[in-house]
Structure 1
Amino acid sequence: MKAPDWFKRSEPRSKEEKQARKAIKEADARVAMAEHEKAAEAFANNRERMKALRLAREAGEGTPPKRD
């Protein structure tokens, strides 16, 4: 199956354009990885906090404050 004409580029990309697109792509990847790492760290911290609360509750060492 042949691609439609509107899908094709009219002229090939220049070397500078390729380099610029690559730099943008790499920058976007760095931002995405930073966001992912931040979310993963927040998840791990929350998991540890919840685990500590659960273990304290199970051990009867204290009860967390009730939410109304």
Structure 2
Amino acid sequence: MTEDLSFRRKPLTPEQRQARDATRRIEAEKAMRDHEEAQKAFYANRERLRAERLAREARDKG
């Protein structure tokens, strides 16, 4: 039987490795910024809805 080695990857050169690492770092930073923006938007909307609910409850009581 012959072993199929076609699935093996060629080793990366140091330049390719640096480029890959830089790309990954940039993508990770963007993902973190996107997540942080989504969290800020979520909490801002949550506070807005809470304020509206409290105002509605106060109006209905009085």
**Class of the TM-score when normalised by the shorter of the 2 chains:** 0.7 to 0.9
Which residue identity is paired with 2:8? K
Quote how far apart the aligned CAs of 1:6 are: 3.5
CA distance in 2, matches of 1:14, 1:49: 52
For structure 2, the residue ranges without an aligned partner over 5 or more in a row are none
What does residue range 17-56 of structure 1 map to in structure 2 within 5 Å? 17-56=16-55
Between the aligned partners of 1:20 and 1:26, the Cα distance in structure 2 is 10
| TM-score, scaled to structure 2 | 0.82
Normalising by structure 1, report the TM-score. 0.75
Give the percent of matched residue pairs that are identical in Structure 1 and Structure 2: 47
Which structure 1 segments of 5+ residues have no match?
62-68
Runs of 4+ in 1 over 6 A off after TM superposition: none
Higher relative contact order at CA 8 Å, sep ≥6: structure 1 or structure 2? 1
Higher helix share: 2
